[in-house]
A = this chain, B = another copy of it.
Amino acid sequence: MTPWRTAIATSDETGLWIRGYDIKDLMKNATFTDLIFVLHQGRMPGAKERGLLDAILVSVADHGAGAPSCAAARLVASGNRESLAAAVAAGLLAVGDDHGGAGTLCMEMLAEGLADGVREGLGVEQVAARILKAAAAEKRRIPGLGHRVHTKDPRVDVLFDMARDAGLKGDAIALLRAIESGLEANGKKIPINVDGALAAVLHEMGFAPSAGKFIFMIGRVAGLTAEVAEEYAREKPMRIRFDVEYDGVPPRPIETPKE
């Protein structure tokens, strides 16, 4: 087998290095959030970058037991008490474009829009108008706006205020705000959600679009562990029941038996 190659971590009998940093130095001098930054960007963050990434991770860690990720983890814990990892992994599997993963689509949209703007000398309003027009033509939802619980997502303003205080450039945030305003001008009140907010901030911090999902997953796994711990501690196996209505064909005989 050809050896695998990696630029992330290496170890020997008594040492371990992550992106070139000695694990002993990291343990003494880096927070976990620093390490997440190191793993994805290959360098230690500054204090303001650390603060923003902390806020993002905190913002997505948990949103209640009924979110698809948390509910999937609890259901698996309800049937399978053999492996804590099985329940947590099932929760992660619920993360996709429609749950927790819109940040990635939003980062792609923002990156493309901002690049178009620079190349063609357009302002954010013009870019936003173009994005809205394209989405309307294709009847697509804009990723990063709207939430099934929140009419106004409490996490958005906090994150954007912190980003401004941290001195980020602000172009991705401005574009996303322009899209939100454009929708409202069209009579659609679909405010920015946490996926959109983290997308704009992660883009401005230099993360690749995949980070929209990866950072959500890291944050959410913290919540999932607590949800699974609570399910084990408070609930019996097989306690979850659903009301299901069958609307298929009525009872009937088998027409062609196997022999």
Contact = CB atoms under 8 A, between A and B. Distances in A.
A59 B23 contact: yes
Given A30-B254, A222-B35, A244-B4, A85 B84 contact: no
B248 A19 contact: yes
Contact of A249 (B42, B229, B249): B42
A36 interface: yes
Nearest to A15: B154
Contact of A155 (B16, B71, B99): B16
Nearest to A213: B84
B31 A33 contact: yes
A250 interface: yes
B71 A40 contact: no
A154 to B, nearest CB: 5
A interface, how many residues as a size bin?
35 or more
| Interface-central residue, A9, A34, A90, A245, by most chain B CB under 10 Å | A9
Contacts of A173: none
Contacts of A155: 16, 23-24, 27
B101 A65 contact: no
Contacts of A28: 55, 158, 162
A68 to B, nearest CB: 4
Interface in A221-235: 221-223, 225-230, 232, 234
Given A21-B252, A218-B225, 15 more contacts: A3-B243, A8-B62, A16-B150, A20-B250, A29-B257, A30-B257, A31-B54, A35-B58, A39-B222, A81-B98, A88-B217, A98-B238, A210-B232, A217-B221, A221-B221
Interface of A: 1-36, 39-40, 42-47, 50, 53-55, 57-59, 61-66, 68-69, 71-72, 74-76, 78-90, 92-101, 104, 148-152, 154-155, 158-159, 162, 208, 210, 213-215, 217-219, 221-223, 225-230, 232, 234, 237-238, 240-258
